[in-house]
Chains A and B, each alone.
Chain A
Amino acid sequence: MCLFWHVIFADVAGVKMTTIPRKTRLYIWFRLLLLQASWNFERFQGVGFFYALLPGLRKLYRKEKLLEVSKRYTGYFNTHVYLAPMVAGAVLKLEEERAAGTSEPQVEIADFKEMVAAPYAAIGDALFWGGLRPLVAGIALFFAVKGIFWAPVIFVVAYNLVPAWFRTVFFVHGYRRGMRSVEFIQQHKLPDWAIHTKEAAVVVLGGLSAFMVFSHLTQQQLPSWLGMLTLIPMVMLGLVARKGVSTVLLIFITVGSIFLLGVFWVDMTKLITLLGMEL
């Protein structure tokens, strides 16, 4: 009797009496790969988030109610692209609960979305862009410097293992846990991982620099100890970059200096040879 009443009531209110099927969730996951297709300065990923969730919302609502709910999702939204599936999963769960009328969320879904987006963005930026990417790039460059043609494949495969895991597992946990998905992030201590990954990246880049310098000096048949002097200009450039000097400017200053030194060195060698011959 209660179910009958709920079905009738739900239909009148524009609510479908259903949950989101697994197939639809998979479809949403694939749509999340297009999250930033219409990225813009006003709403960032907002339209993309609406686009991704729409198949799920279609299963939960119909007619006017579907349009009304859809409008709530086209506004501002910005988080890290690899952690967006977790937000999407949690939001789908909350919408499902609200549509079914099983429980009223403690916080408005829109508020929840806004509350988690910024911290997730900060965590994701530090972990993926600031830590993982330089770390894997450093490892792949070891292979590239050695002339191994598989270096790009190593980079793509090694890098994507982590984001693929985050995109899939976090989406599933977001959907399973709803608002409690925040605890899942806390359990994994991602900010700590971001720091460890960055530290590892610095160590790898130090090793890579030493490897490149040592190989070059050996090729040029110059004394190896000279390589230790590389640290001085590198630390200086790093400190200049910290002041906000453009990378393009640093590139052209460095290349220009080496170019002029090269020309000067050749001229000096010629001059010394000439003087030596005359003497």
Chain B
Amino acid sequence: MISGLTIGALIALMCGLDRVAILQVMVSRPIVAAPLTAFLLGEPLVGLQIGVMVELLWLARLPVGAAVPPDDTQVAIGSSALAIILAQRLDTSGIELILLCLLVAVLLGKVGQYFDHFARQHNVRLAKQVDDALERGSLLRAELQHLRGLGSFSLAAIVTYATIMTGGLLLVPLLLPLVQQPLSYSSSWVQLALPLVGIAVILGTINVSRAITLFCASFGMSFLLMWLV
């Protein structure tokens, strides 16, 4: 379990930094982060399933200006790690456990937005320290202040991951016996519904004229083709 948590934490750190602070090569997207976590924990299929469900949920929330979108990266990593670790600990498996871990992570992941907010607020101090360093004539110190910002974002990523993992490890074993059986009746439908909710949100918020017409036409044509072929 410790090794699983550590691997998850390392991916949470790496992907958390890619999200805002460095590169932005999109390894932080759930479709990448969740399968990567699950692959390193030995269950790639779990990560792929979670990646499909989470990827589109908050894709419509753009990181524009001062807006801080929900931390879907840590939700994806946390739910993948939780599902795999708890499957071993509780000696159970199946989509019900994955769904429960994901729903708990979605709720707990909300705090990630606040930690991200704190990190950005903390970095205001660094900007002032850059001014001080330049006043003193030290360019090197000014450069280092910028790099210290990576620490704030790293901390925000790790704390969000730790919150999801701690909450998940406490809540999921309590909730699973209560909901496993009833959830099994509808688990495959929930698995289908989550990406569709994400697509619906994108459809509602994307700034394209006649988006609904285009979507319905594409849906209808694809559906008809699959039906006929």
Docked-complex contact A207 and B20, CB < 8 angstroms: no
For residue B11, give the distance in angstroms from its CB to the closest CB of chain A.
Answer: 12
Q: How far is the CA of A44 from the CA of B185 in the complex (A)?
A: 48
Residues of B within 8 A of A208 (CB): 195, 199
Encode A254-279 as 1/0 by CB contact (under 8 A) with B.
11001101110110000000000000
Docked-complex contact B196 and A33, CB < 8 angstroms: no
Docked-complex contact B36 and A227, CB < 8 angstroms: no
Q: Is A7 an interface residue (CB 8 A)?
A: no
Closest residue of B by beta carbon distance from A224: B227
Q: How far is the CA of A217 from the CA of B202 in the complex (A)?
A: 24
Residues of B within 8 A of A207 (CB): 218-219, 221-222
- Residues of A7-56 contacting chain B, CB below 8 A: 33-34, 36-44, 46-48, 50-51, 54
Residues of A within 8 A of B131 (CB): 71, 74
Residues of B within 8 A of A74 (CB): 127, 130-131, 134, 142
Residues of B within 8 A of A145 (CB): 52
Kindly specify which of B2-10, B84-92, B168-176, B209-217 makes contact with the partner chain.
B209-217
Q: How far is the CA of A151 from the CA of B218 in the complex (A)?
A: 22
Docked-complex contact A263 and B146, CB < 8 angstroms: no
Find B202's partner among A37, A41, A46, A134 (CB 8 Å cutoff): A134
| Interface residues on chain B, size class | 35 or more
- Residues of B35-80 contacting chain A, CB below 8 A: 35-36, 44-45, 48, 51-52, 55-66, 70
Docked-complex contact A259 and B186, CB < 8 angstroms: yes
A211-B226 in contact given A234-B199, A237-B201, A247-B57 (Cβ < 8 Å): yes
Q: How far is the CA of A205 from the CA of B197 in the complex (A)?
A: 12
For residue A241, give the distance in angstroms from its CB to the closest CB of chain B.
Answer: 3
Residues of B within 8 A of A70 (CB): 134, 139, 142
Residues of A within 8 A of B206 (CB): 130, 134, 198, 201-202
Q: How far is the CA of A115 from the CA of B55 in the complex (A)?
A: 35
Q: Is A214 an interface residue (CB 8 A)?
A: yes
A residues in contact (CB < 8 Å) with B:
33-34, 36-44, 46-48, 50-51, 54, 58, 66-67, 70-71, 74, 78, 81-82, 121, 125-126, 129-130, 133-134, 137, 140-141, 144-145, 147, 149, 151-152, 155-156, 159-160, 163, 195, 198-199, 201-214, 216, 219-220, 224-225, 227-228, 230-231, 233-242, 247-248, 250-252, 254-255, 258-259, 261-263, 265-266
20 A-B interface contacts by CB (under 8 A): A37-B146, A38-B127, A67-B139, A70-B134, A74-B134, A151-B31, A152-B51, A156-B27, A202-B215, A204-B218, A207-B221, A237-B197, A241-B205, A248-B107, A250-B200, A251-B106, A255-B194, A259-B182, A259-B190, A262-B182
B residues in contact (CB < 8 Å) with A:
20-27, 29, 31-32, 35-36, 44-45, 48, 51-52, 55-66, 70, 103, 106-107, 110, 120-124, 126-127, 130-131, 134, 137, 139, 142-143, 145-150, 152-153, 182-183, 185-186, 188-190, 192-208, 211-212, 214-223, 226-227
